[in-house]
Structure 1
Amino acid sequence: MMSLKNVLVATDFGEASAAALSYGRELARTFGATLHVLHVADDVYMRLGGDAYVAVLPELQKDIENAANRQLDELLIDNDAKPLTIKKAVVTSAATAVAVVQYARDMNIDLIIVGTHGRGTMAHLLMGSVAERIVRTAPCPVLTVREREHDFVTPDALTTIAQA
């Protein structure tokens, strides 16, 4: 039987991430797992010309991290009566996928859940996909969730429907 103790949802605060968070909440509740919610804030650099960049003021970077923490707090307001242990984190990195995978390793994550935008092939070829890079390098299974085309149905809900 599969055991989930730590579930990680990586969020960019978009629609697909909101759908991923819904899945993460339900899976964490179902398995009694800790839900980790991670946002990777971009490192902020200023271009000096050519290939030269310099990091911006540490205060600005701190403001960005504080804003991300406030967004996470709002995102994690939960009106469900079922208990859920949540750990939130904001890390700063220029490489989102690398940061997510490193967090998963550091925290012994059993499942990573990420939203995906389902871009067409040309956009995917040009831009790549953070979700795809996570899938290729993650130390555990990865569940990708598209924007709200469907809702997560818990095993309890299926039992209730079957008994009706």
Structure 2
Amino acid sequence: MIEINKILIPTDFSETAQAATQYAVELAKKFDAKLHLLHVIEDPVVYMPMFESYALPPKEDFENFAETRLENWILDEDKEGLTIETEWVHGNPFVDILKCAKREDADLIVVGTHGRSFTAHLLLGSVAEKVVRKAKCPVLTVRPQGHQFIHPGMADDE
């Protein structure tokens, strides 16, 4: 039997990450697993060179934003009965997701994917794709328009 004791959910606070989080929450409930929410704060200069000539917000602003979003990322009604850890780090998303998965001994990583075209992958790369290729544990990728869980108690006509 498969045992899933800890699920890592990396989030960039996007729609795709929200879809992945919903899957992870349901899986955590089914397997009585702990959830570890991770947000990686990237250096804005890395992806927005125009910031080199403008003053950046203080590092603490990024950290406070991440902490607040992580604490409120999962709805209170979905948190019931779950053990949830939150963490933010400064770094490279792909690298730090893998480091966290190893350090936390994650049994599963649940990550959102935009489902970009082949050309977009060549030009932009994909954090989810790199994680799938390099992670030592299974990785579940979730697209926001993909199959969603139907919660028990919902009528068929809803």
Shorter-chain TM-score: which interval?
0.7 to 0.9
- Do the aligned partners of 2:41 and 2:89 also contact (CA within 8 Å) in 1? yes
SS at match of 1:83: coil
Return structure 1 stretches of 4+ with deviation > 2 angstroms. 43-46
Structure 1: runs of 5 or more not aligned: 47-52
1:68-106: CA deviations, max 9, x gaps? 11111221232147400000111110x211100000000
- Do the aligned partners of 2:25 and 2:78 also contact (CA within 8 Å) in 1? no
Larger Cα Rg: Structure 1 or Structure 2? 1
Match of 1:70 in 2: 68
> Match for 1:142 among 139, 142, 145?
139
- Do the aligned partners of 1:28 and 1:35 also contact (CA within 8 Å) in 2? yes
The alpha carbon displacement at 1:44 in A equals: 4.3
Determine if the alignment matches structure 1 residue 111 to structure 2 residue 108.
yes
With 22-31 and 68-77 compared, the bigger mean Cα shift is at 68-77
Q: Which has the higher strand share?
A: 1
1:55-134 → structure 2 map (5 Å cutoff): 60-80=58-78, 82-93=80-91, 95-134=92-131
Residue-pair matches, total? 148
Q: 1: CA distance between counterparts of 2:130 and 2:96?
A: 11
SS at match of 2:149: coil
Q: Report the TM-score when normalising by structure 2.
A: 0.84
SS at match of 2:111: strand
One-letter amino acid of the counterpart of residue 112, structure 2: G
With 73-82 and 21-30 compared, the bigger mean Cα shift is at 73-82
RMSD, aligned CA: 2.5
One-letter amino acid of the counterpart of residue 39, structure 1: H
Match of 1:9 in 2: 9
- Do the aligned partners of 1:43 and 1:61 also contact (CA within 8 Å) in 2? no
Structure 2: runs of 5 or more not aligned: 47-51
The alpha carbon displacement at 1:23 in A equals: 0.5
Q: 1: CA distance between counterparts of 2:120 and 2:113?
A: 13
